[in-house]
Amino acid sequence: MDDVEEGVLPLEYIVIAIILLVAVILYGTFARRKIYNEIDRLEEWKIDILNRPVTDEISRVKGLTMSGQTEEKFEKWREEWDEIVAVKLPNLEEQLMDTEEAAEKYRFRKAKATLVETRERLEQIEKRIELMLEDINELVSSEEQNRTDIISVQEVFREAKQRLLSQNRSLGKAYPTLDAELDELKQNLKHYEQHTEEGNYLEARSVLMEIQERLTAVQDKIAVTPELIALVHTQIPAQLKELEDGTSAMASEGYVLDHLEIQDHIEQVESDLVRFESAIEKTEVQEMKTEIDSVRRSIEGLYDQLEAEVDARHLVTEKVEEIEHELFKTNSYLQDLQEETNVVQLSYRLEEQELNMIKDIELKISDMHIRFNAVREAVDGNQQAYTTLAESVLSLKEDLATIDHEMQIQKENLHMLRRDELKALDTIKDLKRKLIESRRMMKLSNLPGIPESYLDGYELAEDIIIELSERLSDVPLDIYQINEVLADAERAVEHSTEITKKLVEDAVLTERLIQFGNRYRGKHRSVDELLQKAENHFRQYEYDDALSTAEAAIEKVDPQVLQTLKNDVREPVES
């Protein structure tokens, strides 16, 4: 048994060893294949770089003037490309061969590290070639763009020079500065030509772009300066003179214009004009254009304010007359209201609140007179600006309208007293009629008697109506208390009417139920007993108890007929 086990153990080891060997061989094969694939990819990349037409791109520069900056760059690019082709790429070739040899010897870590280094060096070469081609394109395109742009720049320069000469008078003292700027640009054009002849195309491009920018600015200055000079020398001073004369004329006509501080504004603008003239001589036109526009807007604003004063004067003159007439009407209306109030007080008692409202209206009208007199005095004495007076006048108009509305309401309230009195009289008649109808309904019902509680409610309603009638005879009449008592009377009569209707309905229904139940008395003793109780309650005027007892009796023998009898009784009573 032990011999067999000793024979099995070596066989297991052999199998494990074979499996491990196969795994190592498979791993090595896979790793080498992956490295070989990467070597092939990098080799293709290297060959692609080598086959690129970089030499042709560099040769494009030969068509330019080979001197100065162009010659330096050409030599630099050619040397750099020669170094890539003759040194860097061959070194990469050797490095790839070393990588392949390491992979064959299963030195995978070294092979992978070498591949990473090779890839990085290729990326560096790619970046260097990309920068080189960009520099070449920039140089060549600069030369091409310069050849195109210089034509338009020279044409614009000639036009600017001609325009400057043709407008020398309208440009005033700014002419020498603008002429000097064009002379400087002319020298810059010579610098441009010199850079171009020397092969410094990038420098020439920079100079040409600066010339374009400055030339555009000079053109704008030539175009704008005459307009600004006209504004500063002629138009704005004329506006200031016109503004000053207009202000003096309005002041002589009684306008109060001190609050506008127009003279201070004029002096400030005159000071600004001196500064503007100096700045225009230096051709600082863009900054001055903004400030001049601001000055013109401020002058327009002063004109608007003067116009507003004129409009306000028309408004004040018109409205003062209107307000004076309206105040007279308001005083007359107040007198009518006071007289009517005195007459009404003879017949009616007015609440303290209403009397206070009339006094408040009197105070408001008195205040309106004070305010109006102040406005009138200010207008006659030229004491305030008309724009300020216009606000006061409009406020007076608005407040007058409010007072008139309040007086109209108060007058309506006085008229309401008489209407309330007539309404109360009509309501008393209606309440008396309802009580009479209730009494008539009670008599027609032929009830054996009337409950004491019903009589109390009926008598209460009668007493309130009597009290109401007596109050309507008072002098002066307190209509507010009458309205309160009237509301109590309406509630009392309504309650009495409803109680009467219910009492009659209950009594009639009770009689019908007893009559219907008589046919069952001989057969049902319990029905007979309940009906006897109902009859006893009925004779003692306890109609609620009589009805509930009679309903209980009929419920025992014929529940369905109960609702029918109720409907038959209530419909005639309601109608």
The tens digit of pLDDT for each residue in 288-301 reads 788 888 888 888 88
The answer to pTM > 0.95 is: no
Distance spanning both ends of the chain, measured CA to CA: 127
- d(C-alpha 74, C-alpha 59), whole Å: 8
Q: What percent of the chain has pLDDT over 70?
A: 82
Round to whole Å and give the CA distance between 38 and 103.
12
Q: What is the pLDDT of residue 565?
A: 75
pLDDT at position 63: 61
| pLDDT at site 6 | 44
State pLDDT tens for residues 76-105. 777 777 777 777 777 777 777 777 776 666
Angle 255-257-259 (CA atoms, 0-180°, nearest 5)?
Answer: 145
- Going by C-alpha positions, the residue among 262, 280, 274 that lies closest to residue 237 is 274
Is residue 117 within 8 A of residue 38, CB to CB? The reply is: no
Task: Report which DSSP code applies to 332.
Answer: H
Task: Using the predicted structure, report yes or no on whether residue 5 has a pLDDT greater than 50.
Answer: no
Is residue 461 within 8 Å of residue 401, measured between CB atoms?
no
pLDDT of 4: 40
Q: Which residues contact 37 (CB under 8 A, 6 or more apart)?
A: none
At 83, the amino acid letter reads: E
Q: Give per-residue pLDDT as tens, 116-171.
A: 887 888 788 888 878 877 777 777 766 777 677 777 778 878 877 878 777 778 77
Tens digits of residue pLDDT in 473-508: 666 756 677 777 778 877 878 877 787 787 788 788
Which range among 89-98, 246-255, 563-572 shows the weakest confidence by mean pLDDT?
Answer: 563-572
8 A C-beta contact, residue 28 and residue 20: no
Paired with 348 in beta bridges are 477
Q: What is the mean pLDDT of residues 434-446?
A: 77
Over residues 303-331, the pLDDT tens digits come to: 888 888 888 888 888 888 888 888 888 88
Residue 572 confidence (pLDDT) above 60: no
Please state, in angstroms and as integers, the Cα–Cα distance from residue 510 to each residue in 486, 518, 538, 565, following that order. 36, 12, 8, 10
φ, ψ dihedrals at 477, nearest 5°:
-85, 125
Residue 28 has pLDDT above 60, yes or no: no
The length of the chain is 575
Closest CA to 293 of 237, 243, 233, 228: 228
State how far Cα 78 lies from the chain centre.
Answer: 67
Residue 480: its H or E element: helix 479-517
Structure token pair of residue 361: 């209206």
Contact in structure between 504 and 573 (CB atoms under 8 Å): yes
The span from the CA of 263 to the CA of 383, in Å, is 19
In angstroms, the CA 293 to CA 224 distance is: 13
Q: How far is CA 387 from the centre of its chain?
A: 33
Q: What is the mean pLDDT of residues 415-441?
A: 76
Per-residue pLDDT, 3: 42
d(CA 515, CA 498): 26
Per-residue pLDDT, 65 = 59
Report the pLDDT value the prediction gives residue 573, as an integer from 0 to 100.
47
**Spatial separation of the C-alpha atoms in residues 448 and 429, rounded to whole Å:** 30
- CA–CA distance, 261 with 253 (Å, rounded to integer): 18
Contacts for 549-555: CB closer than 8 Å, 24+ residues apart: 550/509, 550/510, 550/513, 550/514, 550/517, 551/513, 553/513, 553/517, 553/526, 553/527, 554/513, 554/516, 554/517
pLDDT in tens, 499-555: 778 778 878 877 888 888 888 777 778 877 887 887 887 787 777 777 788 778 777
Q: What are phi and psi of 296, to 5 degrees?
A: -65, -40
Single-letter code of the amino acid located at 488: D
pLDDT band at residue 24 under the 50/70/90 scheme: low
What pLDDT score does 17 carry?
Answer: 64
- Percentage of residues in the chain having pLDDT higher than 90: 0
H/E stretch holding 39: helix 2-51
What is the per-residue pLDDT across 54-67, written as a single tens digit (0 to 9) for each? 666 666 666 665 56
